[in-house]
Amino acid sequence: MSYQVLARKWRPKSFETLVGQDHVVRALTNALEQNRLHHAYLFTGTRGVGKTTLARILAKSFNCGTGITAKPCGVCDACTEIDRGRFVDLIEVDAASNTQVDAMRDLLDNAQYAPTSGRFKVYIIDEVHMLSKSAFNAMLKTLEEPPAHVKFILATTDPQKVPVTVLSRCLQFNLRQMAGTSIIGHLQNILTQENIPYEPTALHLISRAADGSMRDALSLTDQAIAYGGQAVNESEVRAMLGAIDQSYLFQLLEALLANDGSGLIAQAKIMEARSISFEAALNDLAQLIHQVAMAQTVPDSVADDLPEREALLALAQKIPAETLQLYYQIVLLGRRDIGLAPDEFAGFTMSLLRMLAFTPNDVNQKNGVVKSTTVTQVATEKPVNKSASAALASVLKPESVATSPVAPQAVMPQSVTPQIELAQTATPAPVEVPTHAEFEEEITIEDDVASESAPIDIPVSDEAGQIDQAESTGVSRFNGNWRGLVDELKLGLARALAQHCELVTYDANSISLTVPESQKHLLLPNYQEKLTSAITQHFDQRIKLQFSIGGTGNTPAKQISQERAHAQANAEAAIEEDCFVQALIQDFGAQIIPNSIKPIQ
């Protein structure tokens, strides 16, 4: 006897042996047991999830010799003939090969005749969406009022192409993609009964490559058995699928955490030498980051038999949640844009370098855990211009706090350096992930604090509390207007942090700021460093920024929001009071759409 492929040999022949479609099986079983039979069924779903198999089982349930049942016997003439594909009253039609109206008319002409040996004449039309418009029109009348002895079972991978007039005449069941655990369990059962040795990791790889299709999984298993010489081993399956060795990906993440740029590039070159697809590598890296995030949030979700379980749990302890989200976003953008890169290697390595550039510096690689982070950041050491320092000290004197437009209760003692500790046990705060456009903006920002910068020419304002220019020294003077200072700085990604800060106190060498509780996720080390560097460069002197959480919330961001809301309200009021608009409303019943009103900038 010739060899029969696994997908055909192990095709389910009853509802009990069907895997992964319990919701459909339950509905059909109840309908059959209650004898509530519809004349037309539509099964939808991707390839290899059991649409045709389910249609054949349903045909056996209609025509079983024991009667209409949800558990066909499998031994009567009708059941055995249907399993062999020789039942005369089961007509299977491939709509992809019979798209024309003539074929459909011939089919429907025969539907009026009574079944030859079965209880019902069953028509299974596969890929029904491939029928032409005229063919659909030809079947509508019969589909709506078929003879009592006719049942239609339609199957399609693209239900959106099926006319709504057909959909409304059918009971529709959507078959889901197979879960990875269901595929692996089914493969283990089949290989055990076939007496074929296997490695669990190899089945994980096959399940991943099958992408929810049981038929694809069985076909890949057949291929793996032939490739591995009657065994399914991890190494042979990886070679067969061209899958990325997970060790490469783990080593890339370890190099990122160690701030090892040379190690990253060396690993990428090894992958290039082995002709590994970098697009596939980015896809697998995104999947790995997702697994690490799942292990971090729900450790029990990591399967016990997963080979990478321990490595995933270890990484989950090392990488902060916000950093994982940032890595995931960068990898997705890199995968999207890799076709625009000069070559795949360049696109892949640029994604790695982006991840390296944006990795926070608070990861303690030595102990393998996240290090507690002191929010206070000090500017990079640089030579101090003494004359500039003296001029700045004369302006940033402690007594100036009394005249500063800051609420008295928000003023902090000058001798206190407010610090907070972000403990590892705290729930990670959400992070605003930079977009692709923001990454491009970041590249243009110059952060070389050590270089001597020319004094900034700021126009003199006649309003109190604004930034003035000290003519005697050329150094910008600061008298408490934090919003005005923020507007003058080149900040890039750190602007979000600056705009959500509220000034508390300041002196010749430091500035104390508070951040509202709702915005504390902006206190990322790299954001603080960018803001500190920008202020140091602006004043041409080392300035220490001290951050704490709290304050009254009177931040530049809140002020801007209030100003915009006030301008919008004024604009809407002006429109409502306009005589011409009132005339339109009274004479023509016009209505004002508030969202369409924009204030003039």
Residue 582 neighbours by CB under 8 Å, 6+ apart: none
Q: How confident is the model at residue 434 (pLDDT cuts 50, 70, 90)?
A: very low
The CATH number of the domain where 45 resides is what? Answer: 3.40.50.300
Structure confidence at residue 494 (pLDDT): 81
pLDDT band at 102 (very low <50, low <70, confident <90, very high): confident
- CA–CA dist 339, 450 (Å, integer): 38
Q: Is residue 414 part of a domain?
A: yes
In angstroms, rounded to a whole number, what is the distance separating the alpha carbons of residues 557 and 536?
Answer: 22
The answer as to whether 435 is a domain residue is: yes
Same domain flag for 87 and 117: yes
Q: Are residues 391 and 495 in the same domain?
A: yes
Position 389 pLDDT exceeds 70: no
pLDDT number for residue 61: 93
Looking at the fold, whether 12 and 120 belong to one and the same domain comes out as yes
Do 42 and 170 form a contact (C-beta atoms < 8 A)? yes
In a domain, 375, yes or no: no
pLDDT band at 435 (very low <50, low <70, confident <90, very high): very low
Instruction: Decide which of 174, 198, 224 is a domain's last residue.
Output: 174
449 and 528, same structural domain? yes
Say yes or no: 65 and 189 in one domain: no
Are 319 and 443 found together in one domain? no
Confidence of residue 347 (pLDDT cuts 50, 70, 90): very high
Amino acid of residue 203: L
* Alpha-helical regions (H) of 64-179: 77-84, 101-111, 133-144, 164-167
381: in domain: no
pLDDT surpassing 60 at residue 28: yes
- The Cα diameter of the chain in Å comes to 109
Task: Give the residue from 139, 174, 209 where a domain finishes.
Answer: 174
418 shares a domain with 526? yes
Higher local confidence (pLDDT), 214 or 471? 214
Domain with 440 in it: 386-554
pTM: 0.52
Higher pLDDT, 64 or 361: 64
| Partners of 548 in beta bridges | 514
Same domain, 547 and 567: no
Three-state secondary-structure class, residue 102: helix
122 belongs to a structural domain:
yes
Q: DSSP secondary-structure letter at 405?
A: S
**What 3-state class would DSSP assign to 495?**
helix
CB–CB of 201/308 below 8 Å? no
Q: Do residues 17 and 144 share a domain?
A: yes
List of residues 6+ apart from 283 with CB closer than 8 A:
335
The answer on 222 and 84 residing in a single domain is: no
Mean predicted lDDT score pLDDT of the chain: 78
Among the candidates 174, 196, 213, a domain finishes at 174
Cβ-count burial of 49 within 10 angstroms (0-12 exposed, 13-18 middle, 19+ buried)? buried
The pLDDT of residue 496 is 86
Check whether 304 has a pLDDT greater than 60. yes
| Model confidence pLDDT, tens digit, residues 178-206 | 888 889 999 999 999 999 999 888 888 88
Question: Domain holding 200: CATH number?
Answer: 1.10.8.60
Per the document, the length of the chain is 601
Q: What is the CATH number of the domain that holds 303?
A: 1.20.272.10
Percent of the chain with pLDDT over 70: 79
Using one digit for the tens of pLDDT, what is the confidence trace for 132-162? 888 888 888 888 888 889 999 999 999 999 9
Check whether residue 290 and residue 426 sit in a common domain: no
Alpha-carbon span 309 to 178, nearest angstrom: 22
pLDDT reported for residue 597: 83
Whether the CA torsion 200, 205, 211, 215 is positive or negative: it is negative
Across the range 240-251, mean pLDDT stands at: 76
Identify the band that residue 244 occupies on the pLDDT scale cut at 50, 70 and 90. Answer: low
258 with 403, same domain? no
Q: Give domain status of residue 114, yes or no.
A: yes
pLDDT for residue 406: 39
- Count of domains observed in the chain: 5
In a domain, 462, yes or no: yes
The per-residue pLDDT for 295 is: 87
Is 558 a residue whose pLDDT tops 70?
yes
